[in-house]
C-alpha cells in the first residue's frame, strides 16, 4: 500500500512540476509542447483507471450496453479500435449525472447536438424512454442505422449556421466534444440552444481543458475574437479553440446559463471540463 501511495504522489508531483515548467516556458514554445506531451503520456496511463472504478455501477453498465449497440450497427474501425475506448473518458461525469437525476427529473424529449456515433443519445433514450433527437454536420450509415433501429430522429445540420431543425423544446440536451470545434464565436450558438431548452431543462456539455491540452496554434488570444457566424465563410475542421475553466464559465454566464454541476473528466491523456447547465 505504501508503494502504491508513493507512486500516486510521485505522479502528482511530476505533473505539477511539468505544468509549472510549461507556464514558465510559455504556451507556444517547443519546450512547453514537449512537456505537455510527456504529461499526457503519464495521464493517459492513469485515465482508464478512473473509468474502470465505475464498471460495476448501473449507469456504466447501461452505457456499455449502448456502446455495444453502436458497434453492432456497423461502426467504423476507428470507433471499434480507438474511439469507443476513449469517449467515456471525455464526458465521464455526464451519464452519471443523467442517471442520478432519472428519478426526480422528468425527460420527455432529449436532443444530442453533435451526436457523432450516437452513444449518449441512445443512453438517454434507454434511460428515460423519451423522444430522442440527434443532430450532426455529417451523416453515416452507422448513425442512420442506429437512429432508425431505435426510433430516434436524426438530421444533418450545422448548429452554428442553420436554423434550428425542430420547433420544439427539450428537457435534456447533450453537447459533448463540440464546443472546441465551433468555427465562430460560440455566443450566438449557445443562445440559440438555450431558446430550445425547456425552462426546467438541463444542458450537458464537455470540452477539452486548455490548462492541460494547451492552445491551438494560430488561434485568437480569446474566444471573444472569433468571428460571428456568417454563411459563406470557409469552415475548418478539427479543434478551433480550447477553453480554460474560467473562459468556459464566462461563456456560460454570457449565454444566459448558470452552472448546476461541474467536474473534471480524465480524458485520454489530458482532462476535459464537464458541466451541467440550467437557464439563469
pTM of the model: 0.86
Residue 237: CB atoms within 10 Å: 8
Residues 144 and 207 in one domain: yes
Question: Does residue 263 sit in the same domain as residue 146?
Answer: yes
Query: If you compute the radius of gyration of the chain from its CA atoms, what whole number of angstroms results?
Result: 19
Same domain, 113 and 213: yes
Distances (CA, A) of 2 to 8, 9, 45, 111, 192: 10, 10, 20, 47, 52
- Residue where one domain finishes, among candidates 31, 53, 75: 53
Give CA–CA dist 140/246, Å, rounded.
36
Whether residues 101 and 212 share a domain: the answer is yes
Q: Are residues 30 and 47 in the same domain?
A: yes
- DSSP strand pairing (197-208 vs 272-279): antiparallel
Residues 91 and 128 in one domain: yes
Does 32 share its domain with 82? no
Provide the number of structural domains found in the chain: 2
Coil, strand or helix: which one is 162? Answer: coil
Q: Look up the CATH number of the domain holding residue 194.
A: 3.40.50.150
Q: Does 81 lie in the same domain as 32?
A: no
pLDDT tens sequence for the chain (280 residues): 333 333 445 666 676 677 777 777 776 677 777 877 776 666 666 677 778 889 999 999 999 999 999 999 988 888 988 899 899 999 999 999 999 999 888 999 999 999 999 999 999 999 999 999 999 999 998 999 999 999 999 999 999 999 999 999 999 999 999 999 999 999 999 999 999 999 999 999 999 999 989 899 899 999 999 999 999 998 999 999 999 999 999 999 999 999 999 999 999 888 999 999 999 9
Based on the domain organization, do 111 and 12 belong to the same domain? Answer: no
Domain that holds residue 271: 61-279
122, 165: one domain: yes
Q: Which of 215, 151, 205 is nearest to 177 (CA)?
A: 205
Are 242 and 216 spatial neighbours (Cβ–Cβ below 8 Å)? yes
End position of a domain, from candidates 37, 53, 69:
53
Amino acid at each position: 500500500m505504501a508503494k502504491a501511495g508513493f507512486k500516486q504522489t510521485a505522479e502528482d508531483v511530476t505533473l505539477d512540476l511539468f505544468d509549472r515548467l510549461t507556464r514558465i516556458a510559455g504556451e507556444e514554445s517547443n519546450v512547453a509542447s514537449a512537456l505537455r506531451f510527456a504529461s499526457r503520456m503519464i495521464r493517459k496511463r492513469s485515465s482508464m483507471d478512473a473509468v474502470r472504478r465505475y464498471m460495476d455501477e448501473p449507469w456504466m453498465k447501461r452505457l456499455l450496453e449502448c456502446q455495444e449497440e453502436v458497434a453492432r450497427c456497423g461502426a467504423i474501425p476507428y470507433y471499434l479500435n480507438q474511439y469507443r475506448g476513449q469517449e467515456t473518458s471525455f464526458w465521464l461525469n455526464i451519464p452519471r449525472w443523467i442517471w442520478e437525476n432519472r428519478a426526480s427529473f422528468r425527460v420527455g424529449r432529449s436532443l444530442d447536438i453533435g451526436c457523432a456515433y450516437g452513444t449518449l443519445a441512445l443512453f438517454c433514450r434507454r434511460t428515460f424512454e423519451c423522444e430522442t433527437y440527434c443532430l450532426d454536420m455529417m451523416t453515416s450509415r452507422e448513425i442512420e442505422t442506429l437512429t432508425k433501429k431505435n426510433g430516434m430522429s436524426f438530421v444533418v445540420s450545422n448548429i452554428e449556421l442553420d436554423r434550428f431543425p425542430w420547433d420544439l423544446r427539450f428537457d435534456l440536451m447533450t453537447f459533448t466534444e463540440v464546443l472546441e470545434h465551433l468555427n465562430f464565436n460560440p455566443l450566438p450558438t449557445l443562445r440559440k440552444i438555450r431558446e430550445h431548452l425547456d425552462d426546467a431543462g438541463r444542458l450537458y456539455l464537455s470540452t477539452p481543458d486548455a490548462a492541460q491540452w494547451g492552445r491551438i496554434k494560430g488561434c485568437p488570444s480569446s474566444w471573444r475574437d472569433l468571428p460571428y457566424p456568417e454563411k459563406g465563410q470557409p469552415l475548418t475542421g478539427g479543434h478551433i479553440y480550447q477553453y480554460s475553466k474560467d473562459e468556459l464559465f464566462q461563456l456560460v454566464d454570457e449565454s444566459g446559463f448558470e452552472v448546476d454541476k461541474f467536474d473534471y473528466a480524465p480524458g485520454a491523456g489530458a482532462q476535459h471540463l464537464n458541466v451541467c447547465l440550467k437557464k439563469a
